[in-house]
Structure 1
Amino acid sequence: MLRKAFWLFGVSVFLLILFLPGYTKLQELRDRNRDLEEKIKQLQIENTLLQQELSRVERDSVYQEKIIREKMGVVRKGEVPVKVVPEIRD
């Protein structure tokens, strides 16, 4: 009986040693997969927002002008650009 228990214990330890690294790797891959799926969701949301922005830029000329003025600093012919500098407090 003791001998049978010893063999059972030995086989259990052997199987644990054999399968533990694979199980650990499986858990790491599951975690990485979960992280990548979350990143995919975030990128899909960002992509949708960018597609909406592009659609708006393509259709709305007033919005186009606003973006050009704000991001590129373009002014119309005859306009004088004015830059407001914040006051520095000591």
Structure 2
Amino acid sequence: MRVKFFNVDSFKLWKFIISSLILLVGVGIVYLPSYLRLKRLRKENQRVIKRIVHLRKEIKTLETNVEKLQSESALWEKLVREKLGVAKKGEIVIDIKD
């Protein structure tokens, strides 16, 4: 006598189970690499967005510095004196080393 499970014979039940497993494995094989790639790309996208925000802040700071340099000649003079060691006409530069 055949075993019936919910009025379905065992062969049809096993056929359904095996078909379902094959389908699930097939879907996993097809979509898993795409899902993992999508996950990796989203992570990289977040990293790039953070970098963009950082660079925009840096650009804003540099633009502010440029505006200050363009408007203040005293600041130009100070920077030239500090960075290049330039002196005004008639001044003597004394280099003190520690």
User: Please, what TM-score do these two structures have when normalized by structure 2?
Assistant: 0.80
User: Please, what TM-score do these two structures have when normalized by structure 1?
Assistant: 0.86
Equivalent in 37, 44, 54 of residue 56 of structure 2: 44
The one-letter code matched in structure 1 to 2:64 is Q
Number of residue equivalences: 86
Partner of 2:7: none
1:22-61 aligned at under 5 Å gives the runs 22-61=34-73
Equivalent in 15, 23, 32 of residue 11 of structure 1: 23
Question: Which structure 1 residue ranges, 5 or more long, are not aligned?
Answer: none
Equivalent in 89, 92, 96 of residue 77 of structure 1: 89
The one-letter code matched in structure 2 to 1:67 is L
Structure 1 residue 27 displacement after superposition: 1.1
Structure 1 residue 84 displacement after superposition: 2.5
Deviates more, 1:10-19 or 1:68-77: 68-77
Over the matched positions of the two proteins, sequence identity in percent amounts to: 28
Structure 1 residue 67 displacement after superposition: 1.1
CA distance in 1, matches of 2:95, 2:42: 52
Question: Which structure 2 residue ranges, 5 or more long, are not aligned?
Answer: 1-12
The one-letter code matched in structure 1 to 2:88 is R
Structure with a larger share of its residues in strand: 2
Cα RMSD after superposing both structures: 1.2
Structure 1 residue 69 displacement after superposition: 1.1
Larger Rg: 2
